[in-house]
Amino acid sequence: MITVAGTVTTPLPPEKAFAFLSEFENTSSWDPGTPVTEKLSTGPVQVGHRYHAEAEFRNKRQPIEYEVTELTDGHIRLRGENKRVISYDSIDVVPSGTGSEVTYTAEFSIKGAAKIIQPVLKPFFMSLRDPALEGLKKKLDSLHTSS
């Protein structure tokens, strides 16, 4: 399994940060590696909610279907899958001073024959981390200044 994780701090209060991030379709507004995320379920976010996303992988878009598997105050976990990978994404939001600390963790398990090249793919997955964290911080900070 390949794990990519990082933490950002923002002046945005935890309840506002989590409200935004738990609406997983907002991912496209801050993660350049995920240009498309669409909500497939209706109503408020809950366990079982489904999303369609398109992730950029080696200059090609790869569709991936996500489902919310855990949802508690300040924590959401989703399981994504396509024909090549299973992804477990977790977002945790906790208070930090007057703002929030947000930790995003993505765990990738390569499927099929490509599993043998998983070690070779790790640097690519790691290269997605910094642009995503930069986008996340910038977006959350902009939500704070606009509120």
| Residue 86 CA, distance from chain mean position | 13
pLDDT, averaged per 10 consecutive residues of the chain (147 residues), comes to 91 96 94 92 94 86 95 96 92 95 93 72 75 93 84
60-70 as b/e: b if 16+ CB within 10 A: eeeebebbbee
| CA gap 147, 134 in Å, rounded | 20
Sheet containing strand 85-96, strands side by side: 2-10, 99-110, 85-96, 75-81, 60-72, 50-57, 36-39
User: Residue 41: its pLDDT value, please?
Assistant: 93
Tell me the longest C-alpha to C-alpha distance in the chain: 48
User: Residue 60: its pLDDT value, please?
Assistant: 85
All domains of the chain, ordered by start, with CATH?
Answer: 2-78+85-146 (3.30.530.20)
User: Residue 118: its pLDDT value, please?
Assistant: 67
User: Residue 117: its pLDDT value, please?
Assistant: 67
User: Residue 26: its pLDDT value, please?
Assistant: 95
| CA gap 55, 100 in Å, rounded | 27
User: Residue 147: its pLDDT value, please?
Assistant: 62
DSSP annotation of 117: G
User: Residue 43: its pLDDT value, please?
Assistant: 92
Classify burial at 58, counting beta carbons within 10 Å of its beta carbon; exposed 0-12, middle 13-18, buried 19 or more. exposed
